[in-house]
């Protein structure tokens, strides 16, 4: 008998494979279909083959060269996505970190109420808030301005970030603050020299969360922006659907390019994201 390979063990492994294989197929088919389209020449993409007869980079050339009606502002729109994501990430980080510091470490009066208001906002489904938000941005004269989308995304991202940061900063030892106070540190020095350096992992997690939220957002961009040159890539992708004979292979190639940065960031920061966000997301 081979060491360790009993019949029982083989059966357990087989059962695990019976779960693992369908899970991999279910996960990968839509992504693989997207990729297959992106590297297929126009007419052969729909043949149902597992690998194109003549894979090509031609679709990417058309996208990067902006050589199609739907893609005439590709670089501008990629830049818009980037701008909106980075601005949302930076502003959210600023707003959430200061609020979490004031609530958790400075124990500001009414801090608990602010926390509850933020939590309540977190639970308003974003698609519901979108309706009055549209009207509000119009009243503020911000419609068709990229700031409208940035500010809306900060509004949606910050409650969760404040909550995650507060959970994390409540765990920092209180003696640090006391030592800093005895040494005569001002609140700002405590923030800059003690608090922020200790919170770096959580800050990376929530900053990335806000950045990805804004990059991935479709609905708010679709409502608040309409000029071709203001649109983020997500909305530009949705606009491909406006005609029946859309160039699907170009849509998929653009979608592939659009999906790469967030996927890369996600996998690069996976350690922070998973521990930081799952610990915060649901407390049993």
Partner 1 sequence: MAEAVATLPKVRRPANSWEIWGRLLVVPYLLIFVIFVVYPVGYGLYLARDPQNYVRLFDDPIFFRTAINTLVFVVVAVNLKMIIALGLSGFFAQTRWWINIVALLFILPWAVPSIPTILSVRFMFNSEWGVINTLIFKLTLKDGPNWLNDPTIALGLSMMMHIWKSLPFWTLILLAGRLAIPSEQYEAASVDGATRWQKFRFITWPSMKGLYLTSTILSMIFTLGDFNSVYLLTGGGPADLTHVLATLGIRYLRLDQIELAMASIVVALPFVLPLVYVMMKRLSK
Q: Which stretch binds partner 1 (CB under 8 A): 3-11, 71-79, 197-205, 273-281?
A: 273-281
| Residue choice 9, 67, 107, 271 for contact with partner 1 (CB under 8 A) | 107
- CA-CA distance, 76 to 145, in Å (whole number)? 15
| Smaller CB separation from partner 1, 5 or 120 | 120
| Residue choice 57, 131, 193, 200 for contact with partner 1 (CB under 8 A) | 131
| Smaller CB separation from partner 1, 57 or 94 | 94
CB of 67 vs partner 1, minimal distance in Å: 20
Instruction: Verify binding: residue 51, partner 1, rule CB under 8 A.
Output: no
Instruction: Verify binding: residue 99, partner 1, rule CB under 8 A.
Output: yes
CB of 56 vs partner 1, minimal distance in Å: 18
Site for partner 1 in 54-93 (CB under 8 A): none
Site for partner 1 in 164-193 (CB under 8 A): 186-188, 191
């Amino acid at each position: 008998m081979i060491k360790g390979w009993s019949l029982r063990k083989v059966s357990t492994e087989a059962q695990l494979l019976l779960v693992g294989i369908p899970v991999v197929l279910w996960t990968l088919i839509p992504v693989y279909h997207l990729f297959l389209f992106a590297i297929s020449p126009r007419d052969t993409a729909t043949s149902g083959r597992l690998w194109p007869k003549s894979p090509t980079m031609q679709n990417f050339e058309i996208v990067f060269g902006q050589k199609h009606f739907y893609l005439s502002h590709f670089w501008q729109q990629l830049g818009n996505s980037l701008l909106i994501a980075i601005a949302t990430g930076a502003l959210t980080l600023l707003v959430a970190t200061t609020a979490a510091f004031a609530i958790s470490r400075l124990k500001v009066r009414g801090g608990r109420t602010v926390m509850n208001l933020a939590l309540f906002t977190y639970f308003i489904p974003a698609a519901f808030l979108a309706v009055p938000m549209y009207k509000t941005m119009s009243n503020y004269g911000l419609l068709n301005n990229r700031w409208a989308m940035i500010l809306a995304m900060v509004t949606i991202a910050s409650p969760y970030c404040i909550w995650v940061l507060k959970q994390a900063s409540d765990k920092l030892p209180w003696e640090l603050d006391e030592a800093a106070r005895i040494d005569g540190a001002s609140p700002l020095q405590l923030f800059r020299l003690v608090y922020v350096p200790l919170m770096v992992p959580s800050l990376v997690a929530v900053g990335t969360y806000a950045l990805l939220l804004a990059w991935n957002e479709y609905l708010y961009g679709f409502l608040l922006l309409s000029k071709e040159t203001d649109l983020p890539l997500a909305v530009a992708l949705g606009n491909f659907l406006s005609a029946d004979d859309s160039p699907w292979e170009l849509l998929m190639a653009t979608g592939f390019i659009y999906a790469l940065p967030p996927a890369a960031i996600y996998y690069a920061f996976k350690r922070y994201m998973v521990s930081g966000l799952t610990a915060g997301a649901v407390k049993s």
